């Protein structure tokens, strides 16, 4: 078993295990990566964010999504508290569905540098139309098993 890491990728201190203020914007949110104790093994990590919210940049109304983030780590693992704080910073952030989804994928990729990452954002209807947005980067390692994201397409009352 590995030791508890005390540092993140860029910050001198992890947010884990201490009180930290909620970030006001996605840009000011700190993403923490911790060393991967199984860096020589390819495996999949999944985060589900079933209650993601952001703000419509036109109407100011809230938008809701179920996010599924899958990645194959390299040297770093994404620390879950920092992810929670990061996604919560979108609650008062005005952006279209596509921008939120792709921005999250790109930011996580830039911070933890996974071998492969994909994000599926299953947005609840806006104006009567559900919008699903998908983004990925990297090359999936050969032989990796990637399960279905498990979010059914929007069917309304059907």
The two three-digit tokens of residue 82, written as one number = 């920092």
- Alpha-carbon separation of residue 157 from 18, 51, 54, 81, 140 (angstroms): 44, 20, 24, 35, 36
Instruction: Please answer whether residues 111 and 105 qualify as being in contact, where contact means their C-beta atoms are separated by less than 8 angstroms.
Output: no
Catalytic machinery residues: 56, 63
Phi first, then psi, for residue 102 (nearest 5°) are: -65, -40
């Amino acid at each position: 078993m590995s030791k508890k890491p005390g540092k993140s990728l860029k910050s001198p201190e992890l947010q884990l295990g201490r009180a930290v203020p909620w970030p006001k914007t996605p840009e000011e949110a700190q993403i923490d990566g911790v060393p991967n104790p199984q860096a020589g093994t390819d495996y999949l990590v999944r985060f589900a964010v079933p209650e993601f919210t952001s703000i419509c940049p036109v109407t100011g109304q809230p938008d809701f999504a179920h996010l599924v983030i899958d990645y194959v780590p390299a040297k770093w693992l994404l620390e879950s508290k920092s992810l929670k704080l990061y996604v919560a910073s979108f609650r008062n952030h005005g952006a279209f569905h596509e921008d939120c989804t792709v921005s999250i994928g790109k930011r996580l990729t830039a911070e933890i540098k996974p071998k492969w990452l994909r994000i599926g954002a299953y947005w609840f209807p806006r104006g009567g139309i559900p919008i699903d947005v998908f983004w990925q980067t990297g090359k999936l390692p050969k032989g990796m098993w990637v399960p279905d994201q498990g979010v059914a397409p929007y069917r309304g009352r059907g």
